[in-house]
Amino acid sequence: MDGMHTDADDTWEVAGRRFRSRLIVGTGRYKDLEETGRAIEASGAEIVTVAVRRVNLSDPKAPMLQDYVDPKRYTYLPNTAGCHTAQEAVRTLRLAREAGGWNLVKLEVLGPPPFLYPDMPATFEAAEALLKDGFEVMVYCNDDPIAARRLEEMGCVAIMPLGAPIGSGLGIQNPVMIRAIVEQSRVPVLVDAGVGTASDATVAMELGCDAVLMNSAIAHARDPVRMARAMKAAVEAGRLAYLAGRMPKKYVADPSSPLTEGLIR
Amino acid sequence: MAGSSAGGLPAGPGFATFSAMAATIAIEVNGERREVPAPATVADLLARIGLDPRKVAVERNLEIVPRSTYATTALAAGDRLEIVHFIGGG
């Protein structure tokens, strides 16, 4: 992106949809649905990730996510969490498409615990199947520029490398690789996973990411609603700093006040 | 929940479920076996369970059932249905 726009024009686009907020938030792991709704509202997010699961037949009147996070107000981004094969991912997202009526999806095929690292061979296979089925695929992936390029060439609409393992809160462990992917990509790049606190989100945006996706950093904060506000501010700060262009780093001092002129004697 | 018998035929669980004359049919919903009065559509099943059709998606024998066809899609004995919805996730 460039710095020619005014801040009010600073939007980003994925799969033909335009968004102002550069924070995408997950809807899992909150204390309850009421807190989920309040935290998402505070985050200012326009896109929320959701999972697709069997309805609990023994409790059909249990409150549903839609009652607290209005799908007319937020773009639901269904994920493939729990899917280990291309077939499972396609089947799950076809159901999501019918439930929500859109094609924009988050593909994630995870390896085993304890790292849940992206399973890239399975991710490629699932991406191919989903693209063939007409989905617009935002893809969770490792921080490998070769893999990222291949996903873009396949037709994925956003590349979403991890900053650290899912739910770890370790922050951006791989700024060099994130930057490399940002520089080579013509589709949006988002850090997805690893953000732990506000400064991590700022770092991701300062690296030039188009947006940041997080869940646990907000949901597992002591005060999720307040952390959601912090993340909103952090993403905006990082974006502004990126557009503003940071000063060069130096390895010696460079004084801000004149050191020789006009001193009293 | 076994369906009530109609027409005086016995229709307890596991009985007469594949007979054309059966008052109920056995299907599988989200991995659980259920007896439902026949004939029945997907819309009937959702109503019987108590689900808002606008908040779920249905797969029947691995095929998506479009929401617009819930009322016209008849259930058959042995059908395998998945009824899903959106929940919180990252």
**pLDDT 10s digits, B12-69:** 454 545 555 558 999 999 999 999 998 999 999 999 999 999 999 999 999 999 999 9
Please indicate if the annotation marks A37 as binding a ligand. Answer: no
CA distances from A153 to A16, A36, A146, A178, A184 (A): 17, 36, 11, 18, 12
**Residue A14, pLDDT above cutoff 90:** yes
CA distances from A43 to A131, A158, A230, A243 (A): 30, 21, 8, 21
Mean of pLDDT values over A13-20 = 95
Write out the DSSP string of B22-80. Answer: -SEEEEEETTEEEEEESS-BHHHHHHHHT--GGG-EEEETTEEE-GGGTTT-B--TT-E
**pLDDT 10s digits, A38-65:** 999 999 999 999 999 999 999 988 899 9
CB B89 to CB A99 under 8 A? no
Chain A residues within 8 A of B42 when measuring between CB atoms = none
Rounded Cα distance between A191 and A231, Å, is 14
CB A66 to CB B31 under 8 A? no
Chain A residues within 8 A of B58 when measuring between CB atoms = 98
CA distances from A261 to A252, A254, A255 (A): 21, 15, 13
Residue B5: pLDDT band with limits 50, 70, 90: very low
Please indicate if the annotation marks A193 as binding a ligand. Answer: yes
Q: Is the bond into A255 cis (omega within 30 degrees of 0)?
A: no
SS3 category, A258: coil
**Around A217, how many Cα atoms within 13 Å sit in the side-chain half-sphere?**
32
Facing B84 at nearest CB: one of A30, A65, A99: A99
Residue A85: phi and psi, rounded to 5, are -135, 165
Please indicate if the annotation marks A238 as binding a ligand. Answer: no
Q: Which residue of B has its CA nearest to A30?
A: B88
Rounded Cα distance between A75 and A48, Å, is 6
A33 touches B at CB < 8 Å: yes
**Residue B85, pLDDT above cutoff 60:** yes
**pLDDT 10s digits, A202-247:** 999 999 999 999 999 999 999 999 999 999 999 999 999 999 999 9
SS3 category, A96: helix
From the CA of A261, how many Å to the nearest CA of chain B?
Answer: 58
The ipTM estimated for the assembled molecules is 0.86
